[in-house]
Amino acid sequence: MWERLVNYSLVRKFVHLVVGLFYWPRLSIINKLRIEGAEHVRKLPKQNVLFVSNHQTYFADVITFFAIFSAIKWGRKKSLGPIPYYLLNPFTRIQYIAAAETMHSNWIARFFLLAGGITVKRTWNEKSKEVRKGLDPSDTRKITRALEKSWIVTFPQGTTAPFAPGRKGTAIIIRYSKPVVVPVVISGFSRAFNKTGLKLLKRGTKLTVTFKAPLELTYNEPADVILEKVMDAIEQSKHYMTEGKHQWVSSEAINS
């Protein structure tokens, strides 16, 4: 029932408005969100766009993406602005991919699912160190159908742990659907919020969301090669692990 309701525009707009108004002060007043690369978002087609990003909290990351897309639609470039007037007519042609067990875990997750969630079944164990496997075929079809009419945000690592390996399913979707792939790098969210993103941990945190230029890909490349390019673009590859590991501080470390 929940995922069927996602198809109703008015339902999405209502959820974007409610969630956006709740989070806007946390992003723009209590903390300071900086947007980089908005010009790359403005040039994108209306469908078949895949945003690939690193992941720091379960919900705050996605909520921030939605707020940014609405703000850019209404002319904002560097921040969400002093008044979130754009939430009255938000940008809703956007969906996100999330694990089914996460999105059905409680009523808050189910409510946010109505904003445009696409649930997928995990084909890997989050606690293990195994390389992420491909998507379930039914989930692949779900995602490709959504790309035909909208943008999608996905987190290739499927976990909030920094520098975790990427899931090959992301590369399979890219090979099959041939979307415009936009890398995004976020920072500061694991310091400002707890793991779920629902609890505020620290005030005055600098939050940044950087949209890079779309990747130049040869879609017939092996999935491993595509995944490697994606992970490097979102600064989660082995190279960034050694060069920039000092920049990543988990919310658990700060809270301990």
pLDDT of residue 62 exceeding 90: yes
pLDDT of residue 203 exceeding 70: yes
Residue 150 Cα distances to 95, 111, 144, 146, 215, angstroms = 7, 20, 10, 6, 18
pLDDT of residue 248 exceeding 80: no
| Residue 98: strand pairing partners | 119
Mean pLDDT to the nearest integer, 148-172: 93
> With 0-12 CB in 10 A as exposed, 13-18 as middle and 19+ as buried, what is 201?
middle
Phi, psi of 50, deg, nearest 5: -120, 115
**Tens of pLDDT along 88-141?**
999 999 999 988 887 877 888 889 999 999 998 865 455 544 444 556 778 888
Domains and CATH numbers, the chain: 2-255 (3.40.1130)
Percent of the chain with pLDDT over 70: 86
Higher confidence at residue 255 or residue 98? 98
pLDDT of residue 193 exceeding 80: yes
β-pairing verdict for 206-211 and 117-120: unpaired
Q: What is the pTM of this model?
A: 0.87
Averaged confidence pLDDT in the chain: 87
- Going by C-alpha positions, the residue among 100, 160, 122, 115 that lies closest to residue 15 is 115
pLDDT of residue 171 exceeding 60: yes
Q: Which residues contact 241 (CB under 8 A, 6 or more apart)?
A: 163
Angle CA(182)–CA(187)–CA(188) in degrees, nearest 5?
150
What pLDDT is attached to residue 105? Answer: 76
In order, the DSSP letters of the chain are -HHHHTT-HHHHHHHHHHHHHHHHHHHHTSSEEEEE-HHHHHT--SSSEEEEE--SSSSHHHHHHHHHHHHHHTT--SS--SS-GGGGS----EEEEEEHHHHTSSHHHHHHHTTTEEEE---S-TTS-PPB-PPPHHHHHHHHHHHTTSEEEE-TT-SSSTTPPPBHHHHHHHHHH--EEEEEEEESHHHHB-TTS-SB--SS-EEEEEEPPPP---TTS-HHHHHHHHHHHTT-SHHHHHHHGGG---HHHHH-
Report the distance separating Cα 52 and Cα 214, nearest Å: 10
Q: Are 134 and 169 in contact (CB under 8 A)?
A: yes
